[in-house]
A = this chain, B = another copy of it.
Amino acid sequence: MKTFECIEGGVTAAAGFRASGVAAGIKYEGRRDVALLAADKPATVAAVYTANKVAAAPVRLDRERTRSGKAQAVVVNSGCANACTGAQGLADARETARLAAEALGIAEDLVLVCSTGVIGVHLPMGRVAEGVRLASAALSAAGGDDAAHAILTTDTVDKQFAVELEIDGQAVRIGGMCKGSGMIEPNMATMLGFVTTDAVVDAAALDEALHYATDRSFNRVVGDGDMSTNDTVILMASGAAGNRVLTMRHPQWQDFVDALTMVCVELGKKIVMDGEGATKFVTVRVKGALTAEDAQKAARAIAKSPLVKTSWFGLDPNWGRVIAAVGYSGAEVDDQWAQVYYGDICAYDKGRVTGKDALKPLQDVMRKRVFDVTVNLNLGNGEDTVYTYDFSYDYVKINAEYTT
């Protein structure tokens, strides 16, 4: 895959977008918790939502509204997920959008809403209204940073990434921001992602591109195996770059898709890097699986196994737990053919047990904050890669103390 020139910024890196992030006291006082992202004109939109059968009110609202392929603004609040909140929750989501539409002087159905935070608590609408008012007044082409901070919950750092490429001789930009540090995977889980581009893109093609990029990025981020009720990735294209409309037949279509994928992959990695209590960032690669599905099953089982995750935290090259995870993943595996590597060091080789002398080099690999675990099943050509982190004391602490 091609790589592209990284540039500063996030959702306001592309032309035609303004953003802001303000403190409205949704859950805590004096912390930015309402973000607003607005396009100068109605933009082409595509979105991917949680596969969780219990979908939050804003997800249910946005699913309806993004069908049109058009949107102009997104209101995001942190501190309250507005999930499992019944009819009142849906009404609150609609009212939040109406308030933003009013403040921006645009059509109500062009406004999307995203929420993240505690489930089962109603939105404090008085504060939300105040937040929307402040956020509308604060909108600016330099507001990407403020917005990126306002959408965070247990995240310890903001997450932004942007690239620039040329299409039809025009400079085109793609930038985004996201939040998420726990309840990651399967299929994105608690993460909100917002990507903007100034490219002119056909609506159906934009939807294709977002699904392609999400499957190779946010859907390959494996956390603790939980999946949230609020996961949403929204992609808006303002068209300000003035290129010839991008469709799958455009000669530079794959460049655009690759650049979008790169942005999503980098954003996804930032989520893993900020995993709750994570001390290790581990890329799990499975090769030689009988099928691609097998490779994915095996990689996810390894990345989700609490026993594997705790062994990483303990600098214990316990490849036996890795093999055992593959064994129950549903993937075909023969331990007499499988190989397990930590970095480039082979820990297990087709039934041959590595001696005690291999322990030190293996632990040297694990002492790094970032390392790879590779399993070669030597059965076929199926491959998959997922990104994950370890389980530490802090993982338990953060999640035990994150109160309802």
Q: Which residues of A contact B (CB under 8 A)?
A: 51-55, 81, 83-87, 118-122, 182-183, 186, 224-229, 304-307, 310-311, 313-314, 316-321, 323-328, 331-333, 335-336, 348, 350-354, 359, 391-393, 395-397, 399-404
Give the CA-CA distance A86 to B354 in the complex, in Å.
12
Q: Which partner residue on chain B sits nearest A354 by CB separation? A: B120
Is A323's CB under 8 angstroms from B54's CB? yes
Query: A83 contacts which chain B residues (CB < 8 A)?
Result: 320, 324, 335
- Expressed in whole angstroms, the minimum distance between the Cβ of A261 and any Cβ of chain B is 25
Is B119's CB under 8 angstroms from A323's CB? yes
Query: A122 contacts which chain B residues (CB < 8 A)?
Result: 353
Is B396's CB under 8 angstroms from A336's CB? no
Which 9 A-B residue pairs are closest in the complex by CB-CB distance?
A119-B320, A314-B400, A86-B351, A54-B327, A310-B399, A52-B327, A227-B328, A224-B306, A53-B327
Give the CA-CA distance A332 to B52 in the complex, in Å.
11
Q: Which partner residue on chain B sits nearest A401 by CB separation? A: B314
Q: Which partner residue on chain B sits nearest A185 by CB separation? A: B328
Is A324's CB under 8 angstroms from B54's CB? yes
User: Which of A84, A182, A305, A326 has the most chain B CB atoms closer than 10 A to its own CB?
Assistant: A84
Known: A86-B351, A305-B225, A399-B306. A404 touches B313 (CB 8 A): no
User: Which of A186, A227, A317, A399 has the most chain B CB atoms closer than 10 A to its own CB?
Assistant: A399
Q: Which partner residue on chain B sits nearest A304 by CB separation? A: B225
